[in-house]
Chain A
């Protein structure tokens, strides 16, 4: 069965510092992995995805994620955090054949000035 784990409910980081939001996954077959961001009272917005190819994928707003097959991880990163990055972040895995998505429980990112 497909599943996604986000081990941290909350991540706190100072503005200008690098940030990492962790995600591990369990899938049968090739993983299709996604990161979404949710701002208060809004729907989820796509940030980036990994389908195949280079393990480091770049996405919107300066975010990137590193796919690590041996550790079954897909951590979200940004070299220098902004206060405006404060939001709820979701990792998701897509079940290839049926286009179903499984979401992690979300990680709240707090970036302090």
Chain B
């Protein structure tokens, strides 16, 4: 049981380049999330998904796109990277239900630098 995994761990892009971050979970969770973490700002929700084939915008969706073609995978895309997107990106998943289980399970993060 690997939990939540993220690929890649590190990446350096030039302004204008594109890339896709991959998140995978093996806990059969319905919900998946992408956050970015910047110093002093905590975690900010980029996009999330409440099930296979569905996605929704979070707090800071501009410049990002997502897809959830399979229940276990949640992809985050940057079509034209900008220096403001330099950040650490975390994927998370959670189960359904009001009890919420143990909240969210997080991946180890992807450190992205845009030059």
Contact = CB atoms under 8 A, between A and B. Distances in A.
Given A43-B4, A43-B90, A49-B102, A98 B50 contact: yes
A51 B99 contact: yes
Contacts, number: 64
A94 B109 contact: no
16 contacts: A32-B98, A34-B103, A36-B103, A41-B109, A44-B90, A45-B106, A51-B100, A94-B103, A96-B98, A99-B50, A99-B96, A100-B48, A100-B58, A101-B45, A101-B104, A102-B45
Interface stretch (A63-71, A74-82, A103-111): A103-111
B9 to A, nearest CB: 9
A82 B102 CA distance: 24
Contacts of A106: 42
Interface string B87-98: 000101010101
Interface size class of B (residues with CB under 8 A): 20 to 34
Interface residues of A, number: 26
Interface in B47-62: 48, 50, 58
Given A103-B43, A104-B42, A43 B100 contact: no
Contacts of A25: none
